[in-house]
Structure 1
Amino acid sequence: MKLGLICDGVSRDLSHALNVMDEFGLEYAELQFVGDKEVGDHSKQEISDIKSLLEKHDKPVSCLSRHVFAGMTTTNRPGDELHVKHMDALKRVMDMAHELGSPLVRIMTQKKEQILWGSNGAEKWNIAHGAWDTMPPMIAPAVELARSEGLTLVVETGNGTMVNSNYTARKLIDDLDAKDTLKVLWDPANNCWCHERAFPDGYEEVRDGYLGHIHIKDVKVDTPRATLEVRRMGEGQLANQFQPLANALRSDNYDGVISFESVYHPGNGNFEDGFRQSIGLFKQLFE
């Protein structure tokens, strides 16, 4: 399968991150922060320098991953000041995607409301009334922009965002009738927070044409204590789900990229050390 790295998880020094990718035979570079800037904020010269580095190392870009729409709430509306700011950033990322040949651009969703739907009384007393309905109109202009630009958007399943499961990601795509342009960026570890089991449950939601990109890391969540621990790969709660997931992806001929997300450190604050402790198992499972 196509394996890659979210480069700034190892280093925001792209040259160093690409050298590490070469060392471990990872092919696809996902860019989020390069140097001191998030993608979409680089100058033309900086983008040219990034392109030269990628070409030097023969690394195609899998995805440009800016935090578009992250931090917005259900009080925001299409066309308000914050929405316009995010749309402007999205356009800059798309321009960068064309320059670097990235087929995918990531978006996020608004901050999470905990209970979106309910019945037998919950619909009156417990749900966040209308919260979900505020989101498709926020995302629709981004979908139309992507269509006009000939790019594909991927919406990430996030810990604290409205789309925090494959179920909600698929529902958003269906509500927008956007399966041609909007896909799921599945982060199974993020979905642990809402207790969506990665395999088979999460995979079944997206296997029929909804899945566009994957992030892999391992975690241990304790939702009652509001605590998240990133674990060395194979030592978290996804340990027994990675292999059947990898098998299913192969069986279904998944042709997207699987990016390793290096957000674990072994207690010393050094994320490259964490990467080196986990990358062997990642490759063993998904290569």
Structure 2
Amino acid sequence: MFTLGVMTDEVSQDFAHALDVIKEFGVHTIELGFMWDKNICDLDSHELTQVLRMVRQRGFAVCNIASLFLLHCPIDDPDAYNEHIKILERSIQIAPLFDCQLVRCFSFRREDDLEAHWDTLLERLELPVRMAESAGVTLAFENVRMCNIGTGAETARLMETINSPNMRVIWDPGNAYHSGEARPYPDGYELVKPWIIHVHVKDVELNTAGKLAWLPIGGGKVDYAGQFKALADDGYDGVVTLETHYRPENGTKEQGSRESFAGLQATLAEQGIVPD
């Protein structure tokens, strides 16, 4: 059975407070992205030691180093690419400090014509995959609208082509819907299922203005009841991390995460699913 996790910066940039809230949720697994308005890869040694101490003192497990590797990187800019390789190097250095095997990566800033950049995308991913293989970590690839690979169909195509055991998928159904995939579950999920090593959850719908809006789990268009049941039935034993994104009007990220975690719990309970 899978375990629940929470992305700390979806609660607060105040790292200690975020950990206290997550412990209040009854969750003991976290994902490290931003704290104190810095990404984990940008922390200095003193700050990193503080994070490690707080994580250990509170008894949390770290499931993923949520770096920004290749998120905002133009695919045809060699200098930017080299800077992002340094981000990956830092991620790989940090991961073992937290007994973590997963390092997040993306697929470069979205281009208008993916086919025209497909070969370049594959070429640019060769070095990161070799680095992961050499270091014994896994690149956890997240599908997201702002990058070149956003849907389950696009993600499956990439995984089939890369074909490395050290590159696997962070399946994000909310991001897939946001990227134009009408049914992330079951359609996208069935395509990416062989490569899923981690899962992010957030909910989304078209609002009255016709724009995509983030919502608490269970309040949007993603079939999370079906998705969670499928994960359980298929024997997924990784982490399902709440990556909220939703913020209530005039509210805070913490309020949004509290609402979304309640929706997550309710959806799981309706399916009779009890995470580890």
- Relative to the length of structure 1, the TM-score reads 0.88
Secondary structure class of the residue paired with 2:169: strand
Choose 1 or 2 for highest CA Rg.
1
Instruction: Find the aligned partners of 1:283 and 1:221 in 2 and give their Cα distance.
Output: 23
Following TM superposition, by how much is the alpha carbon of 1:269 offset from its aligned partner in structure 2, in angstroms? 3.7
- Do residues 201 (structure 1) and 202 (structure 2) align? no
% identity of equivalent residues? 29
1:194 to partner: Cα distance: 3.2
Residue aligned with 1:207, SS: helix
Counterpart of 1:164? 150
Aligned residue number for residue 138 of structure 2: 152
1:97 to partner: Cα distance:
0.7
* RMSD of Structure 2 on Structure 1 (CA): 1.7
| Structure 2 CA distance for partners of 1:284 and 1:142, relative to 1, 3 Å | same
1:214 and 2:212 are equivalent in the alignment:
no
Mapping 1:235-254, distance limit 5 Å: 235-238=219-222, 241-254=223-236
The answer to whether 1:272 aligns with 2:273 is: no
Query: How much has 1:7 moved relative to structure 2?
Result: 0.4
CA distance in 1, matches of 2:26, 2:172: 22
Q: 175, 178, 181: which one pairs with 1:190? A: 175
Task: Give the drift of 1:133.
Answer: 1.4
1:6 and 1:269 map into 2 onto residues whose CA distance is: 18
Structure 1 CA distance, aligned partners of 2:170 and 2:84?
Answer: 19
- Please, what TM-score do these two structures have when normalized by structure 2? 0.91
Amino acid paired to 2:146:
G
Q: Which residue of 2 aligns with 1:96?
A: 94
- Pair 74,87 (structure 1): closer, same or farther in 2 beyond 3 Å: closer
Deviation digits for residues 135-176 of structure 1, max 9, x if unmatched?
A: 011111111111111101111110121110122222222212
Structure 1 residue runs without a partner (length 5+):
117-127
1:219·1:236 contact (CA, 8 Å) conserved in 2?
Answer: yes
What does 1:1-287 align with in structure 2 at a 5 Å threshold?
Answer: 1-76=2-77, 80-114=78-112, 116=114, 128=115, 130-178=116-164, 180-196=165-181, 197-208=183-194, 210-221=195-206, 227-238=211-222, 241-286=223-268, 287=275
- Aligned-pair CA distance for 1:232: 2.5
1-side partners of 2:218 and 2:109: how far apart?
29
Alignment deviations for residues 76-134 of structure 1 (CA, whole Å, 9 cap, x no partner)? 3xxx2111100011111111111111110000112223554xxxxxxxxxxx5x21111
Deviation (angstroms), 1:276: 1.5
CA gap 1:221/1:94 in 2 versus in 1, 3 angstroms: farther
Counterpart Cα distance in 1 of 2:137 and 2:253: 31
> Partner of 1:125 in structure 2?
none
C-alpha deviation, 1:264, in angstroms: 1.2
Segments of structure 2 that go 5 or more residues without pairing to the other structure are 269-274
Cα separation, 1, equivalents of 2:244 and 2:177 = 17
For these two proteins, the number of residue pairs brought into alignment is 266
CA distance in 1, matches of 2:248, 2:153: 32
Moved over 4 A (4+): none
Say if 2:216 and 2:244, in contact at 8 Å, map to a contact too: no
Q: What is the deviation of 1:203?
A: 1.1
CA contact (8 A) 1:262 1:272 kept: no
Distance of 2:258 and 2:93 partners within structure 1: 33
| Alignment partners' CA distance in 1, 2:162 and 2:184 | 24
The amino acid of 1:99's aligned partner reads L
Partner residue in 2 for 1:122: none
Is the partner of 1:131 in helix, strand or coil? helix
The offset of 1:237, in angstroms, is: 1.1
